[in-house]
Amino acid sequence: MNQFTRTTPKLPAGYRLVQLDTVDSTNAEAKRRADMGEPGPLWIWSARQSKGRGRAGRQWTSQVGNLFASLLVRLNCPLQTASQLALVAGIITYETISKLIAYEGRSKLLLKWPNDVLLDEEKIAGMLLENLGSPNDRRSVVVIGTGINLASHPENLPVPAVSLDAYGLAIPPAKALEVLAATTHEWLNRWDEGATFPTIRRAWLDRAGPKGRKLVVRVGATQIEGSYAGLDLDGALRIETDGGERTVTAGDVFFAA
């Protein structure tokens, strides 16, 4: 039995944990269990992933020593409301990293829409949300997947990556999961299934840096260039372009050099 399997993180009351040595992807495992009737809330945590995924089906490099975990949760709100979790997830990741590095002056930490976290302009964490229910359902089933670069990070990516190890911090995955689980519980309660979304939106904006930064958004084959103008009331990204303001509900964001 290796060190990973001997270590059991402490989770908030009411949450359960499935701890694996290896899996194709923690999100995929959570979805399989949801299909079999798993009620949640359930964390799936694995030491490694053979087919880790990011947004748009891209590969998420899954090196041992980093954190790969997914939360399966059932919510008493429709899919449209559950989509607000894209912003909630960003706050959760940001706050988790902040706690892990005990960083008070947060100017080096930045949220990039919708839920990537940058440390000194390099990506250190990201989240993948998948809604499993139907738009017509009154309840939602959601998987919130989180990847945090603790011990290592991939090279030669469109957005440079970094790990906490590069900053001299040795954070075990079990410790990172404990902090992530507690922070997730805290912010899911604050969000209250959509009842406090204006507060969540404000919290996200407070962690995303000032307006006016130049960026490029790729939506499929379309590329939109402009400057960051905040979020609309529903959480969509606002972009000020030469032709006027546009809003984006899905896409990849790159900050201009």
C-alpha 227/C-alpha 224 separation (Å) is: 10
User: Do 41 and 102 reside in the same domain of the chain?
Assistant: yes
CA 60 from centre of chain: 13
CATH number at residue 251: 2.30.30.100
User: Do 191 and 219 reside in the same domain of the chain?
Assistant: no
C-alpha 46/C-alpha 235 separation (Å) is: 31
Which backbone phi and psi does 39 adopt, to 5 degrees? -80, -25
User: Do 168 and 227 reside in the same domain of the chain?
Assistant: no
Are the CB atoms for 247 and 237 separated by under 8 Å? yes
Where in the sequence is the domain holding 143, given as residue range(s)? Answer: 3-206
pLDDT at 257: 66
pLDDT at 157: 74
**Digit-coded pLDDT (tens) for 102-115:** 765 555 899 999 99
**Which uninterrupted H or E stretch holds 252?**
strand 252-255
User: Do 139 and 73 reside in the same domain of the chain?
Assistant: yes
- Going by C-beta distance under 8 Å and a sequence separation of 6 or more, which residues neighbour residue 120? 108, 162
The model carries a pTM of 0.91
Cis peptide bond prior to 41, omega within 30° of 0: yes
pLDDT at 2: 45
Are the CB atoms for 53 and 128 separated by under 8 Å? yes
C-alpha 134/C-alpha 145 separation (Å) is: 19
CATH number at residue 106: 3.30.930.10
In this prediction, the residues of the chain whose per-residue pLDDT falls under 50 are 1-3, 5, 56-57
